[in-house]
Structure formats: C-alpha cells, structure tokens
Structure 1
Amino acid sequence: MNLKIQHFVIFVTITCLCACNDAPKKLSKISGKQLPITDSIDITDSIDSFVAPYRKRVNEVLDSALAYSPKQISKKDGKYNTSAGNLMADIILSESNPIFKSRTGQEVDFVISNHGGIRSVISEGKVSARTAYEVMPFDNSIVVVEIKGKSVRELISFLINAKNPHPIAGMQIVLNNNETLKDVNIQGLPFDENRTYYVATSNYLADGGDDMGFFKDGLNTVDLNYLIRNAMIDYFKKVDTLTAKVDDRFIKIEWK
C-alpha cells in the first residue's frame, strides 16, 4: 500500500513539474523611476580622492590655452553665412585636404557642414580644447565624397532653399536680388556640371543626415578617420588668433 502511495506522489509531482514547465511565462509589469544625480548626493571621500588626480590632469589638458579669439564667434551673426560656420568649414578644409591628398593624390574641392552641428559660440578670449568639445560634442568624423556635377547642383539648390546658413568652404554662391542663382564658383573656377567633385563633410551628413540626400549618389567615399573636433584642436594649435568673420562666400546682390 505504501509503495502505491509513493508511486502516486511521484506521478503527481512529475505531472505538476511538467505542467509548470509548459506554462508560458508572461511579463506582468514593468516599472521604473528617475534617480536624479545632483550635488545633494554625498561625496564618497575614498572615490573622490582616487579620481582627483585624473580629474586635475583632464582639466589641465582641456583648459590649456591653444589660441585667442578677439571677439565672440557665433552661428547667428549672418543670414547666408556666419562667422562660426565659416570657421568650422575652413578648419575642415585646411585640416582634411593634406590627409586626403596624401592618401588619394586628389584635392578636396569644397566643404559642406550643417548649421545645427555647431552647438556653442566661441567666446572672446582664450580658446582651448574644451572650446572644441563645446562647439562639437559629437564624435563625427570627416569623410570625402566624390559626387557628380548633377548632385552638386542639388546641393546648391539645397543651400539656397535652406532655412539656416549651412557652413561651406571652397565654394562661392551668388544670388540675384530675387533669390535666384547668379553664379557658383568652386576653388575660384566656374561650376562645371560635367565633372565630379570631392566634397569634405561629416560621416553623419554623408549618410543623408539633415536631409542632405544628394550624397546618396556618391561615386566613392573616403573616411579619413579624423574627428571634426580633433581637427579643430589641431587647427587651434597652429594659429595664434582666430579671424573668423562673415564674408562673401554666400551672398545676395542687393539692387537699389
């Protein structure tokens, strides 16, 4: 009798276990809450002491003076081009062209960047590596895209119709008084729709970011593996004073 009871218990146990294993598991609830990190949280002295020398060294590197700006450089001081945009585009052109030429034997024809990618003004006074991080906090790298003249024409139309002045360098766009296109010059020569051009930009824009779809038909793309932020730092180290200004690279002729 006891043996039968034992067998019955074993049978019931196995049956229950199998039933439990076969039952589908469902997530009943997900909950969460914000845990704000503020200066109200007490500092752990041992951790702070450990981090202190590293923090000190990082701040020394970031805040060391590399150049000087005699005035504020902003992306809001011009309608068709701005001092900050011009500086950004000029830096990309000057710092990327030697690298691109050494790798391919070709020259960068012009640069296009995006107005929204500039995240801070450059204040009057000391310019440091921290300045570059504030202006360009993203890890965007410089790429050079070879595009046909037809795509350049689309790029020009995009710039004319854009609501914000996107940075350019190596190219001049001149509009008539009625906002129609008058002239386009690239590296001082009239735009030729029958040739291809090498355009330096960011990897984000080359992938179609900010609606810059004209890069989709690119013939070839060379990633320089060179962050725009690092190009800025390298440029700052080379110059004594920043001379960015609004100029005639994108203008409209005003007729009285």
Structure 2
Amino acid sequence: MRQTFFFFILISLITGGCVNQPLSHKLTHHEFIQVDQPAAIDSTIDAVIKPFRDSLNLSMNTVIGTSSASMRSFKPESPLSSFVADLVYDAGYQYLETQGYTRPKLVALVNVRGLRAPMPEGPVLLRNAYEMMPFENLMTAVLLSGEQMQQFFQLMAHENGDGLSGATFTLTDEGATSIRIDGRPIDESEDYWVVTSDYLAEGGDGYTIFGKSDRHLISNYTIRDLIIERIKSMSEQNQIISPEMGVRITDVR
C-alpha cells in the first residue's frame, strides 16, 4: 500500500513539473474509508522497486565493527551516550582547528533521547547506526562565555544529565556542582565551545542557553556519519567497541 502510494506521488511530482500553466484545485467531494487490511502489493511496481530495495538491504546489512557488549542510552549518563559524546568531542576539536581556532577549550553534548536504539553486542551493522541515530542532525559548535557555561551545566542538571565529554560535574538536588572542564574549574574570563547537534544548538531539549550565543558554527557532518566513521575506523585498527567505565556525572541525589 505504501509503495503504491509512494509511486503515485512520485509520478504526480514528475508530471506536475512539466506543466507550464499554474493549476488550481477545488475539493468537490470527500469520503472517509476505513482501511482494515493491507492492500495487495502491485507486482509491476514491486518489480521496479525491488532492485533498489535489495541494494539498500545489502548495504544496510554491511558489518562496520564489533562491540564487546550491548550499550544503551539512559540518564544521567550511559555507556552509549558517553561513546557518542567522545567521538563528537574528537570530531569537534578537529573541526574547530580547521576553522582557525587553535587548541580550543570545549565540551561535547549529546542528548540521550536522540539515541533511539542500543549498540548491539557482537557485529555492528550499518543498519544499527541508522537505528541508533535516525536523524540528520549536523554537528554544531556554539561559543559560550564562562558565565554562560555555568548556566549550561545547570540546564544539564535540570535535564538530569546527558551525554557529556570533556567535562565532569556532580548532580545534586540543587543542581550542578564541582564542575570541571578538562580537569579545571570554569574560568569566567574565558570562552568555551560546546560541540553538539544543530537540534540542541537551536534550543532543543531545554538547552535555551545556546540562544544567547552569537557564534554558531554548523558543520557538514551529521552525528550519524561521525558514529559510522568512528566504528569503521576502530574496526580497521582491529579495535572492539567497549563500554566506557569512567564517571563523568556523579549523581548524589
């Protein structure tokens, strides 16, 4: 049913683009039809789509790496969110240097809710990466003042934590305390970068502090592509993905 509908829409768009004169439409009749069973697959359309579907399935079932354990994403921190935050940190550091920012001070932020599926134990397929990160979110770097960084960590505490790299803090009932970036307290006379997704950089999941920044650098790299590249790179070096055991967010609530 969905394949037939997709094909109809595709043909409509193609033929509609060939019309020179603008068209107008008027609804003259409507009727609600309850669909209680799937429609039969049109064999002609299915024959056209099948080569593309088979090729896509073959690509999606490609093994890109190996994981020693199943890793899930949960708050305040988790093996999967830490793994992704680390690779975003590394990619963000390199990206900022290509933009002319030498040895930038930064942290990486990944929203736990954005990671929609676990990393499986054993072979990791390309399909798993797409299930893990189904969105086209672009890696984005946001510059914050030292004072704004303090507010950023309080927002993260309010969100009960998220994927974090390059920093640590203690999560208390009152908020974030003992904040450290690269092992040092925040210097309010300094500026810091937060490397994250464009979704969070635009204020998603309550991170409104990013709206106070006047410097957003949006890269061409999706978070999913960074995940795939990291897993492939580890595989090429015969490295197995293992859960990160270090504590970044100490929850004392």
Interval containing the TM-score (normalised by the shorter chain) = 0.7 to 0.9
Deviations 1:169-190 (A, max 9, x none): 11111357x7665422212332
**Is contact 1:82-1:246 (8 Å) kept?**
no
Three-state SS of the structure 2 residue aligned to 1:104 is coil
Change (3 A) 1:216 1:113: same
Q: How much does 1:233 deviate?
A: 0.9
Deviations 1:199-243 (A, max 9, x none): 101111111111111111113111112111111111111113212
Change (3 A) 1:202 1:37: farther
Deviations 1:17-36 (A, max 9, x none): xxxxxxxxxx9998564775
Equivalent position of 1:130 in the other structure:
127
Distance 1:28 1:48 in 2: 31
Distance 2:31 2:234 in 1: 50
Distance 2:162 2:62 in 1: 30
2:138 partner amino acid: S
**Is contact 1:81-1:246 (8 Å) kept?**
no
Distance 1:34 1:102 in 2: 57
Q: Where does the alignment leave 5 or more consecutive residues of structure 1 unmatched? A: 1-26
Distance 2:142 2:183 in 1: 20
1:135 partner amino acid: M
**Is contact 1:110-1:170 (8 Å) kept?**
yes
Change (3 A) 1:29 1:127: same
Q: How much does 1:97 deviate?
A: 2.2
Equivalent position of 1:49 in the other structure:
47
Superposed counterparts of 1:71-82, under 5 Å = 71-76=69-74, 80-82=76-78
Change (3 A) 1:56 1:96: farther
1:114 partner amino acid: N
Equivalent position of 1:235 in the other structure:
230
Superposed counterparts of 1:9-48, under 5 Å = 31=30, 33=32, 40-48=38-46
Change (3 A) 1:58 1:188: same
Distance 1:197 1:97 in 2: 12
Considering only CA atoms, is the larger Rg found in Structure 1 or Structure 2? 1
Change (3 A) 1:208 1:182: closer
Deviations 1:28-61 (A, max 9, x none): 99856477597x3222222222222221221121
**Is contact 1:108-1:144 (8 Å) kept?**
no
1:95 partner amino acid: A
Report the more deviating stretch, 79-88 or 146-155. Answer: 79-88
**1:99 counterpart = 2:95:** yes
Distance 2:215 2:145 in 1: 10
Distance 2:124 2:36 in 1: 30
**Is contact 1:100-1:224 (8 Å) kept?**
no
TM-score (norm 1): 0.77
CA-based RMSD: 2.6
**1:89 counterpart = 2:85:** yes
Distance 1:34 1:75 in 2: 41
Distance 1:32 1:167 in 2: 48
Equivalent position of 1:200 in the other structure:
195
Report the more deviating stretch, 91-100 or 235-244. Answer: 91-100
Distance 1:136 1:34 in 2: 35
User: What number of residue pairs does the alignment pair up?
Assistant: 223
Distance 2:33 2:186 in 1: 55
Three-state SS of the structure 2 residue aligned to 1:111 is strand
Three-state SS of the structure 2 residue aligned to 1:194 is coil
Q: How much does 1:128 deviate?
A: 2.1
Distance 1:204 1:147 in 2: 17
Superposed counterparts of 1:49-68, under 5 Å = 49-68=47-66
Q: How much does 1:110 deviate?
A: 0.7
